Amino acid sequence: MIVIATLLVLIAAVLCARLLYSLAIHALPLWCGGTLAWWIFHVQSGLALSALAGIGGAIAALVIVQLLSQSRALPLRIAGIAMLALPAGIAGYFAARGVTAAVIDEGTMVDVLSLASAALLGGTAAMRALALGRSESGKSALASSSV
């Protein structure tokens, strides 16, 4: 029974880490949607309208990032990638800092692991933004070359 309980705890920890990773990667749309929903709810517009506004805000943030990532101008493309990567890096830093500070004592190792997590999550979000920008442009380039 102890072995089964230990395995269940390890599986739960891995699933929680995966959820934290996914939420940190999508920090910008989650933040935009959550902020908009919170604001709409607190102006007494109701729960349903605030949920719809939050979903709309998250979708609008993703659309803006996708449009900027597909731009031909390099500064706009970099801005779109940075819009997704910087919040993901910040969320990764503080998520790793909270988890490691709960497990080990405060010190240099907590900072090193937090910075490594920030770099990992920021880089992953940047790669996803690059893939988001290339998905449509790659299809159009293939379509134009075959005609």
Domains of the chain, by residue range, sit at: 2-133
How many residues appear in the chain?
Answer: 147
**What does the pLDDT read at residue 38?**
94
Assigned token pair, 2? 């102890």
CB 74 within 8 A of CB 63: no
pLDDT at 54: 92
Residue 136 has what pLDDT?
54
| Per-residue CA distances from 79 to 16, 18, 26, 39 (Å) | 31, 27, 16, 26
Q: What is the pLDDT of residue 146?
A: 46
Under DSSP, is residue 45 helix (H, G, I), strand (E, B) or coil?
coil
User: Distance between CA atoms of 67 and 26, rounded to whole angstroms?
Assistant: 16
- Look at residue 144 in the predicted model and tell me its pLDDT: 47
Q: Which residues of the chain have pLDDT under 70?
A: 133-147
pLDDT at 37: 92
User: What distance in Å separates the CA atoms of residue 69 and residue 83, rounded to the nearest whole number?
Assistant: 10
